[in-house]
């Protein structure tokens, strides 16, 4: 089977490529890099380009002729989406449209999995304890708006053009290799303290509650959707239980080789933040999804990853 991944060199994309290759797929990756991150020889056929280029995506899909497509390429930083909303919309919305048209013209029988975000729920998350796929979408950031639009486009192309297109809303996907999220920042800070590079552990608010999903479970879920998902359907990729950042920090304090005392840092506040985002995962479970990794195992693996990285020069 041939699989095509936009954003193949991103956090989820790299894990997904490994899982698909292990299953025997020929994997094509659409990327702006010439080689995989961290020098890995991952066997992916890389096709260079940007999702905002309609021509580049069309050529890539025509070359790969994939049986299934995973659309992960996106600008996904909520804070940066406020700084440059136009760029976020162009990449996430127009990029999705470019991909859908490329698949429709060159590989219309392929299954196409859109990777959205739990940020699509926005204000609804503050009113509903468990988020189901059919609840109102009230995003609180330009990023959230872009992902709502992406999901709607995939539904329209399924209904109007007959594509086997599905939309997945991942909740808090975490694990080794991720950067610029709370867990990776915490782990890097722990490692810096263990190495004697700093004695300070700065934190933002710890009360936010998230439905954390190990990246290895997440890629298994995405593959399930590509194989068993129903066209035009949205799936929450979540575990159905929440944990606060405070509980994540507590796990790290138990794993750290040197004790540390967190210090609040007002600069770590975000312009908009949803206090609780926990999903109903029953629709994914109906496809056979079942998480294998606990939060404690994910935190342990993420800390081990950052310990394996070379010290700062």
Q: pLDDT tens digits for 242-283?
A: 999 999 999 999 999 999 999 988 776 654 466 889 999 999
Is the whole model's pTM more than 0.95, yes or no?
A: no
Q: What is the mean pLDDT of the chain?
A: 94
Domains of the chain, with CATH numbers? 2-173+213-237 (3.40.50.720), 175-210+241-280+291-308 (3.90.25.10)
Helix (H) or strand (E) holding 83: helix 78-83
DSSP code of 292?
A: -
Tell the burial category of 22 from Cβ atoms under 10 Å away from its Cβ (0-12, 13-18, 19+): exposed
Let me know: does 37 contact 140? Beta carbons within 8 Å.
no
Phi and psi at 27, nearest 5°, equal -110, 125
What is the per-residue pLDDT across 34-71, written as a single tens digit (0 to 9) for each? 666 555 678 999 999 999 999 999 999 999 999 999 99
> Contact, 87 vs 75, CB < 8 A?
yes
Nearest to 210 by CA among 306, 303, 298, 114: 298
């Amino acid at each position: 089977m041939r699989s095509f991944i936009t954003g193949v060199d991103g956090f989820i994309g790299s894990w997904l490529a490994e899982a698909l290759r292990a299953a025997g797929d020929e994997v094509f990756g659409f990327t702006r890099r010439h080689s995989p991150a961290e020098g890995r020889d991952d066997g992916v056929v890389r096709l260079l380009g940007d999702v905002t280029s309609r021509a580049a995506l069309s050529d890539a899909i025509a070359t790969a002729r994939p049986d299934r497509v995973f659309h992960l390429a996106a600008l996904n930083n909520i804070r940066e989406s406020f700084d440059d909303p136009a760029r976020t919309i162009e990449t996430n919305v127009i990029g999705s449209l470019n991909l859908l048209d490329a698949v429709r013209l060159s590989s219309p029988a392929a299954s196409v999995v859109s990777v959205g975000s739990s940020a699509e729920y926005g204000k609804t998350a503050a009113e509903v304890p468990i988020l189901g796929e059919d609840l109102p979408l009230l995003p609180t950031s330009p990023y959230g708006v872009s992902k709502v639009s992406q999901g709607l486009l995939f539904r329209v192309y399924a209904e109007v053009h007959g594509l086997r297109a599905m939309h997945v809303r991942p909740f808090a996907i975490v694990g080794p290799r991720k950067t610029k999220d709370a867990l990776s920042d915490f782990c890097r800070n722990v490692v810096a303290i263990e190495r004697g590079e700093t004695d300070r552990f700065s934190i933002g608010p710890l009360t936010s509650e998230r439905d954390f999903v190990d990246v290895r479970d997440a890629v298994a879920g995405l593959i399930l959707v590509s194989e068993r998902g129903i066209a035009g359907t949205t799936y929450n990729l979540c575990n159905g239980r929440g944990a606060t950042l405070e509980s994540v920090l507590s796990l790290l304090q138990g794993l750290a080789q040197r004790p540390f005392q967190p210090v609040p840092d007002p600069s770590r506040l975000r312009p908009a933040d949803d206090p609780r985002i926990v999903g109903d995962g029953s629709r994914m479970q109906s496809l056979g999804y079942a998480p294998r990794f606990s939060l404690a195992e994910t935190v342990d693996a993420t800390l081990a990853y950052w310990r394996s990285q070379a010290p700062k020069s």
